């Protein structure tokens, strides 16, 4: 496979500055010789602390969200300009917690995707179905709609800076992982959606991460699948002891 594995840690709403600095230092030291691409995405308030620790390492700095507008009267939001100023390189968008807890829809997520790309960021666009959608046989349909709408208006050139993360909602933080076969089937399906939209070369190139209870014990089996190109890790990203073995799977 010509695609490079990309392992990302989503720290969600965890850690104080000192805890974040400790984790970032441990990751920088222990992943120094890691062979894959890495990312850590701490809360907005931790970015300024973590940025200098990751600078010059093989771990990119990510944010977990951004506003859909560049700046202005948007109380409580954080702008791409502010993220760029802090050295953020990647923005995670459309995470299921943003979609389902904070009611972000595909149109809003698409606006954020285009804004972040226009400011030079890499975007990790998360997609994934709810348990009831999977049980109703709609997993592919949901992932297709989220992919097509999330990427609406994104040029083929900008797609180079888009990573997809398939995160079945029922597997996030639940300890339930999709089987490598089930995950790979959706990844393959989504890759065909990208082929339809952008052509086979773009589909072959795009990185599709899997997320949802990735752990040191299951990482290698997931990564062994043809269409799984990395992981977006939540709970297990909060400690170097669990993130490093995932990041160095195999």
Which residues contact ligand PGA by CB under 6 A?
10, 167, 172-173, 211-214, 232-236
**Contact (Cβ atoms closer than 8 angstroms) between residue 146 and residue 94:** yes
- Among 60, 5, 8, which Cα is nearest to 211's? 8
Nearer to ligand PGA, 187 or 203 (CB): 187
CB of 222 to ligand PGA, least distance (A): 12
> Which are the contacts of 95, defined by CB distance < 8 A and separation ≥ 6?
10, 64, 65, 126, 167
- Give residue number: closest CB to ligand PGA: 234
**Contact (Cβ atoms closer than 8 angstroms) between residue 51 and residue 59:** no
Verify whether residue 36 is a known catalytic residue: no
> Which are the contacts of 103, defined by CB distance < 8 A and separation ≥ 6?
none
CB of 229 to ligand PGA, least distance (A): 15
**Contact (Cβ atoms closer than 8 angstroms) between residue 113 and residue 150:** yes
CB of 156 to ligand PGA, least distance (A): 27
Catalytic one of 97, 122, 144, 167: 167
Nearer to ligand PGA, 63 or 236 (CB): 236
- Among 108, 202, 213, 199, which Cα is nearest to 164's? 202
Torsion sign across C-alpha atoms 136, 64, 184, 191: positive
Nearer to ligand PGA, 155 or 174 (CB): 174
CB of 249 to ligand PGA, least distance (A): 14
Nearer to ligand PGA, 88 or 222 (CB): 222
Nearer to ligand PGA, 47 or 214 (CB): 214
Each as own residue / partner, the long-range contacts of residues 144-149 (CB below 8 Å, 24 or more positions apart, any chain) are 144/189, 144/190, 144/193, 145/106, 146/94, 146/106, 147/190, 147/193, 147/194, 148/193, 148/197, 149/106, 149/107, 149/109, 149/110
CB of 56 to ligand PGA, least distance (A): 26
Alpha carbons 126 and 122: distance in angstroms, whole number: 13
Verify whether residue 167 is a known catalytic residue: yes
Catalytic one of 36, 95, 97, 122: 95
Residues annotated catalytic, as ranges: 95, 167
């Amino acid at each position: 496979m010509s695609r490079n594995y990309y392992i990302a840690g989503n720290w969600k709403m965890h850690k104080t500055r000192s805890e974040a600095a400790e984790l970032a230092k441990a990751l920088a030291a222990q992943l120094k010789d890691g062979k894959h691409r890495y990312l850590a995405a701490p809360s907005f308030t931790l970015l300024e602390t973590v940025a200098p620790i990751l600078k010059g390492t093989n771990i990119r700095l990510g944010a977990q969200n951004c506003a859909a507008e560049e700046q202005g009267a948007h109380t409580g939001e954080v702008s791409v300009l502010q993220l760029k100023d802090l050295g953020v390189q990647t923005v995670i968008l459309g995470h299921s917690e943003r979609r389902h807890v904070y009611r972000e829809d595909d149109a809003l997520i698409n606006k954020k995707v285009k804004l972040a790309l226009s400011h030079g960021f890499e975007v990790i666009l998360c997609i994934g179905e709810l348990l009831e959608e999977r049980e109703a046989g709609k997993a592919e349909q949901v992932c297709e709609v989220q992919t097509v709408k999330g990427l609406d208006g994104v040029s083929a050139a900008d797609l180079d800076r888009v990573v997809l993360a398939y995160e079945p909602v029922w597997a996030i933080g639940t300890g339930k992982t999709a089987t490598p076969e089930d995950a790979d089937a959706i990844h393959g399906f989504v890759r065909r959606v990208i082929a339809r939209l952008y052509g086979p070369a773009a589909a072959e190139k795009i990185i599709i991460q899997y997320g949802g209870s990735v752990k040191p014990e299951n990482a290698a089996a997931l990564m062994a699948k043809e269409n799984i190109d990395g992981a977006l890790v939540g709970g297990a990203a909060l400690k170097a002891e669990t993130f490093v073995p995932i990041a160095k799977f195999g």
